[in-house]
Amino acid sequence: QVQLVESGGGLVQAGGSLRLSCTASGRSFSTYFMGWFRQAPGKERELVAGISRTDENANYVGAVKGRFTISRDNAKNTLYLQMASLKPEDTAVYYCAASALTSAYYADTYHYWGQGTQVTVSS
């Protein structure tokens, strides 16, 4: 098993930046494909970005491409999401998740979830 704890959320003005972190404990972090999801009120949870075990491949949902960067430090058991040029529509609870699969792009293919961190972008 792996336990995930997100941090770094908060309130920011449109155009601002935030960096989310997700610290993992338990089984080896480097063996998991990792993802960041978000869920806005009244909407389904959506994948924001995913990253391979060795940080070689990253994928993003179209709405955040060019603005968000996912990365990981396996030595520190930590996943990051650097968010720039934030928009009000980025407001959501952001979750990190771990999948035992080689790649995973749907919520039901992830096995472990953090508790979430709120990101609010004011206009």
Phi-psi region of 116 (alpha: psi -120 to 50; beta: other; left: phi over 0): left
Instruction: Write out the two tokens for 34.
Output: 């990792």
pLDDT bracket for residue 108 (50, 70, 90): very high
Instruction: Write out the two tokens for 19.
Output: 């960096």
Q: Is the pLDDT of residue 1 over 90?
A: no
Q: Is the pLDDT of residue 51 over 80?
A: yes
Instruction: Write out the two tokens for 58.
Output: 């990253």
Q: What is the pLDDT of residues 2-30, one digit of tens each?
A: 999 999 999 999 999 999 999 999 778 99
Residue 41: the pLDDT is 92
For residue 112, give the nearest of 46, 48, 34 by alpha carbon: 34
